[in-house]
Structures are given as C-alpha cells and as structure tokens.
Chains A and B, each alone.
Chain A
Amino acid sequence: GAVVSQHPSRVICKSGTSVKIECRSLDFQATTMFWYRQFPKKSLMLMATSNEGSKATYEQGVEKDKFLINHASLTLSTLTVTSAHPEDSSFYICSAQDRGSTDTQYFGPGTRLTVL
C-alpha cells in the first residue's frame, strides 16, 4: 500500500529556534499534501493544503509566516515552524493524496514537537 514517511518522528527544540519537518510519499506521487495538527485528546485540525509547485493554502487562524510550507516535488513537502514557542508543542501529521486518486489521503506517522 501507499506509504508516507515523516522525519523526524520526535524533536525537542529551544524557544525561538526553527524546526523543519519533512513529509515524503515513498511509493507514489502526491500532487497534494496536507498538514494537520493534533492536540491532546482532540481531533486532527487541518493547518494547510499544499500543491506541488504552488503556494500553500492556509486554514483560517493559521499563521502562514510562522508555519512555512514548501512542496517542491511530487514526493516531498516540508513544514517549518519558525521562531517556535512552547504553545507550538504538538503532534504534527501530514497526509498525501495520490495523484491518481480523487479521495484517498495517506497519513504519515506524525512528528511530536516539544518546544522548551
């Protein structure tokens, strides 16, 4: 089946630093990738949608200058959390949509970010 990887799986950083999270589709091409954030005991919240070669579309309330998304190729999207603060600590999950599918999103295993 389709596999999506995320790296790193876990990261701890100091307040004020930037952290980059990678999302890769390993065995398929993804024209569209999605970034979600999951709070403890809460649902997944869509942050932004990124299409290969174009600017990401951010959901209301998500700061585009703080959460930089780049989707440079059909198999890679990156999320950079800039000037991280403790409140950015969360579980970040990406998903990728197979260019041959209209519906199915395959999720990565997630990245646990802790900002000290």
Chain B
Amino acid sequence: GENVEQHPSTLSVQEGDSAVIKCTYSDSASNYFPWYKQELGKGSQLIIDIRSNVGEKKDQRIAVTLNKTAKHFSLHITETQPEDSAVYFCAARTGANNLFFGTGTRLTVIP
C-alpha cells in the first residue's frame, strides 16, 4: 500500500517567517494530496489540496507544490502568524477513497 513520510516532526519559526513541511509518497498511482490542520478541540480541517495534474496551488498565504517524478509534495506557509500554530498532516490518496497520512508536523510560530 501507500507509504507517506512527513518531515520535520516539529518546526518552530518566528512570526512573519515562512514555514515549509515536506512529504514523500511511495505509490506513483496516488492522485490526490490534501493537507490538514489539526487544532486541539477543533478536529482536522482541510486547508489546501492538490491533484496530480497540477504542479502548484496557492491560497493566500498557503501554497502546495507537487513533484510527481520525485513523488514528493510540500506545504508552504508564508508570513506566519501565531494562529498558524497547530499540527499539520499531509495525506495521499490512491484510486479509492482511502487517505494515507503522514506522521504530522507540530508547527509553533513564535510571536
């Protein structure tokens, strides 16, 4: 099955700096890659996603890039704010609806 690896496991940045979280996947048939933000008590929220026919997608301060050849995708958060502090999960989907998740990255934005 699919294997998703995520790095780093923890990340601290100064407010206003950028944060980058990287994920790799193993199944070349994976075609959908969502990113989730998990906050205590709020569950996991989809923040951005990308499909395999697109190389990059942006939504305000958040962007995701996908390199199908290398089988990796990254989340970029620019101009970070304290409210961006959370655990972020990447995921990959192969064919069926099952999502395979990375191990999460705890992002701390220092004011």
Contacts and interface: CB of A to CB of B under 8 A. Distances in A.
Interface residues of B, number: 22
B45 interface: yes
User: What bracket does the count of chain A residues touching chain B fall in?
Assistant: 20 to 34
A58 B44 CA distance: 22
Given A97-B97, A104-B49, A4 B103 contact: no
Instruction: Tell me the interface secondary structure of chain B in the complex.
Output: strand
B46 A106 contact: yes
A38 to B, nearest CB: 9
B103 A42 contact: yes
Contacts of B93: 103
B49 A43 contact: no
A43 B34 contact: no
Nearest to B31: A103
B43 interface: yes
B43 A93 contact: yes
Given A4-B43, A42-B103, 15 more contacts: A41-B104, A42-B104, A43-B104, A44-B44, A44-B89, A44-B99, A45-B101, A46-B98, A46-B99, A49-B97, A49-B98, A103-B32, A103-B34, A104-B46, A109-B43
30 contacts: A4-B43, A34-B97, A34-B98, A41-B104, A42-B103, A42-B104, A43-B6, A43-B101, A43-B102, A43-B103, A43-B104, A44-B44, A44-B89, A44-B99, A44-B101, A45-B101, A46-B99, A49-B97, A49-B98, A93-B43, A93-B44, A103-B34, A103-B49, A104-B46, A105-B97, A105-B99, A107-B36, A107-B45, A108-B43, A109-B42
